[in-house]
Structure formats: structure tokens, C-alpha cells
Structure 1
Amino acid sequence: MTPWRWAANLKWLFTELEFEARFDAAAAAGFTGVEFPSPYGHTAAALRKRLCDAGLTQVLINTPMGEPGTPTRSGLACVPGLRSEFRAGVERGLEYATGLGCGLLHVVGGIVPAGVSRDRAFARYVANIAWAAERARGTGIRIVLEAQNKRDCPGFVLESQEQAAAVAEAAGDEEVGLLLDFYHLQIDEGDLVNTYRRVQDRVRHLQLADSPGRHEPGTGEIGWHAVLRAVADSGYRGWIGCEYAPVGETAAGLGWMRRVEEVTV
């Protein structure tokens, strides 16, 4: 019996279909959960209906981010001078998470702005996460933090998985945890198994894609048998988000899931 609960990331998977059709496609492919970063272009009620009709659980959403090319394109949490905008985004994220029955809200860290020291940006980030943790307390929604790689996201405020885990620990106990993405980890730090083991007690959500191409597992350099063996051995029972760009049509490339089912508890 395997522990895997796969969630289709609907920003990345089934993109051959319109967004509204991806829910049914994910369910037809065998997924029971979905995640996507930005639900804010739709009403929570409309999204909840699509989830219910398809028999899916909403696993994860992100806090609002700025438009591509703007200083807040990767989040607001570390940007000095935007405290009110950050707090409004967390409130909106919690509102949507509640409406969707979603248990995890990813508070996106952001890029250190030009002309701002990393220390100042990091201090703002820590303070904002502490506020978000307090605001989430009692809602049943957990805040998660993610370290993103500096090749795809230069200047991102979090520099390592262990730094993210330390912020989560400082901010709260059950309210804040770690979103660990093996793709980002492979690019920035490597040593996936040992790094995962060092922070596993803080991990509340996992995501995967192979490296370097960010395609499905088995298309790159990551040794997934060893990685998922370590995850199984750790007792992790959360969701694993499939956040990758399929090489071809999404459903045709899902054979990797069957191949990793040999990794058992």
C-alpha cells in the first residue's frame, strides 16, 4: 500500500484544455486533488462547484502576486512598504481557501527589491509571516512557505529549505509549515534525500518536477526511487503536487505514476 496522494497542478497540467475543463480531465486521469496558484479570477463559489462536480479536493492556493514583470511578480511578503497590500492579500487568500475547503495557503515570499538590503527584506518577510500565522490561527488553514530556486527566480528572499523551515518554526507551531518542491531543491541545493530528512518534520506539502527541464519524473536527473523512498520512510501522508510541464499531452505522460508505485511504506 503506497502513501501517495497526487494533486494535479492545473496551471501546469492539462493545458491543452481550457481551465474550466481541467477539473474533469484531472478526475478522469485518476487525480483526487488539485492545486493552482491563483483562483482569484473566478468566484470561490464557481470553483467550489467545479471541484464538487468532479469529486476533487482543493489542496493548495497561493496568496495574490503581482503581474509578470512587476517587482511583486513572485510575492509581496518581503517587500518593505507594502504591509497593507500584503495583509489584504493574506485576507483574500484565507477567504478563498475557506470557500474552497482548501487546507493550505502558500504565502509567497517575493524577490528582494532593487536598492533594498537582503537583511531588511528578510526582516520584513519574517514579520509578515508572523502576522499571517496569527491571522490564520483558528481558521483550520495552514500557512506554508516555499524556497524557490535562484535560476528561475533570481533574488528570491528565501535562500534554502532550512532557512524556510526556521522561519516556519519561529512563526508558529501548527499554523506554519514548509512547502518543499524537489525541483527547486535540486537546482539550488541538491542532496535531496538528506535535505528532505533534515526538514521533514516541518514539511506540510510536497511538489515535484524533474530537473533540468521541469518535466514529468523520469525525464531528467533526479533519482525518484530514492527520493520517494525517503518520503515514504518519513511517514509523510500529505499531498504531492504535480507541478511540471508535460513533454506531450498530460494524460499520455502519467505512466511515471505507475512506475513509482513500487515505492511502498
Structure 2
Amino acid sequence: MNKESDILKWFNGEISTETIKERYPNEDFSSLEKSQFYAKQFEVPQIDAQKALEDFKKRPLGKDSTKVIPLNFKLFIRIAAILVVMLGVGYALFFNNTTTYSTAIAQTEVLNLPDDSEVILNAKSQLQFDKKDWKKNRNLDLDGEAFFKVTKGKKFTVHTDVGTIQVLGTQFNVKERDNYFEVQCYEGSVQVAYKDKKTILTPGKTFRVVKGEQIVVKDFNSENPAWLVQESSFDNVPLWQVIDELEIQYNMVISAESVNTSSLYSGSFTHNDKNIALQSVTIPLKLSYKIEGNKVEFYNYESQ
């Protein structure tokens, strides 16, 4: 049974929608159903080929033989529209090999890549790669945060908007948020390419860029990222970055207009209790907060 052939037969009305869904229960036909619906709106007139040939033969030759035959633009537009729809469907079926995974606020997901490497995707993150080209090039695009356990093999590269990470077989964490980029190596070695400089990280080393300027390579002693056990951990990180992470994990909006958000914070907060998380951040910095729905305001004690 040829799936592509069956889909084309279904698109042409030779196979019913119920039949195609029974044959391929795991396929998502929603997009194709829309394309099929719009294609059916265009009625192409039936042409009597024999009569058209006879009419052509009766045309006079000579100076009038070069006369341009008027083009039926409405018919042309309808046919062109159908071709565009069919080309779009064909591209989606045969040429789009990009695999995409994404997580929502407060959601994590465990993924297995084609080479059995494992990725754990943190909240509000997206990972993409070309499945067809995977055996030749283990390349991924990351927007957000993810922990990687990479099997040995060909070069494994993670691309972000800020920097590129290359490994052969290791465990590492990549965090790429607005104005914040951090790579932590837990096993093996990691090469971080940032601008024109390449830095090698060994286990227990962190590479960090804040607002595109500050570059820090420092030690850490944890065995795994804290967020894997439902916590967010920070070591001398600006408060604005901690606030961003609170918003991602709890789907809330935090205002801190009267607070110095550049002050550094070291500590952690849980992902399981909003009030405890807010207290874990504000108390060490001698701040307070008030909640109204999903909105939270940070302020200094003196502002009460």
C-alpha cells in the first residue's frame, strides 16, 4: 500500500475520507482536508477536445493566422489557484522534513532524537532539526532551555541566536532567553562558539553571557540542572533574569519598577508553589510583593 498514492487518490475523490483515515490512523489530515475543500471550489469547465481540434483546423491562414486568441483569464486564474494548492500539499508531503518540538509555560518534555540522544526541554522552549539529514549532520536549533544527553557519534551541534555549542558525546544544559545565554557542562567536553571566540568547557564549568556583554566562565558543583527536579537555581544572576524565569514557570506578569532589577541573586525557587517561590526570591533581597490575579508587583520594604 503506497501512502502517497492513496493520498492523491483521496484528494481526487477516488477514496473517501473515512477510508483514508482508517488506513492511516496516525496521520493528521486536517491541513490536507482544508486544501481539498478549497480545491473543490474551483470548477474547471469540461472541454470537447474533438470539437476544439475541428475549430482549429477551420481557422483561416494568411495575415489573420497570427491573430492572438483571447485568453480566458477567469479560467486561467482558477487553474493556477488549483496548481498552487497542489504544489503546497506536495511540498508538505515530500519536502518538509523539519521536526519541531515545543513546550508551553510550566511544561517540560522528554524527547528521544533519531540517534537515541535524549533531550529534556524546559518550559516555553522550542527545538527543531532536519530528520532526513540527521545521519549526516546532527544539527539542532534551540530557542529556550534544554538538557542534552548525547550519544557518541558524529559532531552534534546546537544552534541558538546567541551562540553555537558543539560536542561529540556528553551531557550539557543550554539556556537561551532574552539577553541571557548560559551553557553548563556536566560530562565530557563542550565547545561554545560566541562571536569570534571558542571556549572549551569541561565538567563543572559554566559559560554565561548577559546582555551580550558580560562573559563568565565559572565553576558549579551540581550533578544535574535544578529544573529537572522542579526547581530553578541561580548563582549571582541579575534579578531581571530570575523574574523572567518566574513568569515562565508560573504564567504570571511581574512588575518591579521601584526595584533594582540589576541586583544579583543566588538561590533557587520551587516550581510547585507560587507563594513559596516568590518568598524564596524576595526575602533574600529584602523585597516584598503583592499578588492580584496573575499580576505580581515587587517593591522594597520601605515602599509599604
Normalised TM-score (structure 1)? 0.28
- Of Structure 1 and Structure 2, the greater strand share is in 2
- Of Structure 1 and Structure 2, the greater helix share is in 1
| Structure of higher CA gyration radius | 2
Normalised TM-score (structure 2)? 0.25
